[in-house]
Amino acid sequence: MLKVAVLGAAGRMGNAVLACLAESAGMRLVGAVTEPGDPRLGSDAGDAARLGALGVALTADPGDALGEADVAIDFTLPAALAANLAAAEAGGTALVIGTTGLSDAQMESLARAARRIPIVYARNMSVGVNVFMDLAARAAAALGGGYDVEITEAHHRFKVDAPSGTALAVGERIAAATKRQFEEVAVMARDGQTGPRNADEIGFSVIRGGNIVGEHTVLFAGPEEQLRFIHTAGDRKTFARGALLAAQWVAGRPPGLYSMADVLGLASE
């Protein structure tokens, strides 16, 4: 029985992970973390998520939550990363991290921690979206330089980072597949007299509104034809199920920084 802790258990994604975990055979919840000051601290994590009692109380201490865990699933905020990594390293606990908006310094700390524990890091845990990214990268390599690339993403009004981590990830994959430096060709905004489009650009457009779970479109626009790849998430459970798949895969692995491409056996990112 795989013993799992959930970091960020009281959030929207944490609730989805708890719901999927409660349905999963072979896995058991042993720890649940929420932020300090949460009025639900000490209550049953399942009750807080309206799932019914799961027998695990919400705590603000990741070290306490990870005490029995084989693997922890982290859907928190970037500010919580340092404490979560420290707790996982101290207990030798494998980590699955889906937190987006990490800084370069935080990514470096992630790489350092991965020398001591196994970590799966992905800006999107959905199985479908990772296949979507792989297909888009393969298409970019096959189409070559004669097609303009535009990436559009839409999310709910509460999302705080833009473009989404998934949009950035697919842009990075396309840039690598076409031997471009992402930082040099990514265009995050257009306004005013921008002039003609540069052929090497990878453009980004962002929509925020309502309760949109997530939609990503990659457009390859050629002189005589257009090709679109679209992924639409209808429920946060799609990300939760991917995270649980990653948790099963990473438990017992040697230290290292892994991706969902590794979990799914796709081409290396």
Active site residues: 155, 159
With tokens 């980004």, the residue in question is: 204
For residue 110, give the amino acid letter. Answer: L
Give the containing element (helix H, strand E) for 207.
strand 202-208
Backbone angles phi, psi at 121, to 5 degrees: -120, 130
Alpha-carbon distance of 80 to 29, in angstroms, equals: 20
By the 8 A CB rule, do 46 and 70 touch? no
Give the pairing type, strands 148-155 and 214-221. antiparallel
Alpha-carbon distance of 58 to 63, in angstroms, equals: 13
With tokens 């991917």, the residue in question is: 242
What residues contact 195, with CB distance under 8 A and at least 6 apart?
none
Three-state secondary-structure class, residue 75:
coil
Within a 10 A sphere around the Cβ of 207, how many other Cβ atoms?
12
- The residues with which 4 forms a beta bridge, in sequence order, are 29, 71
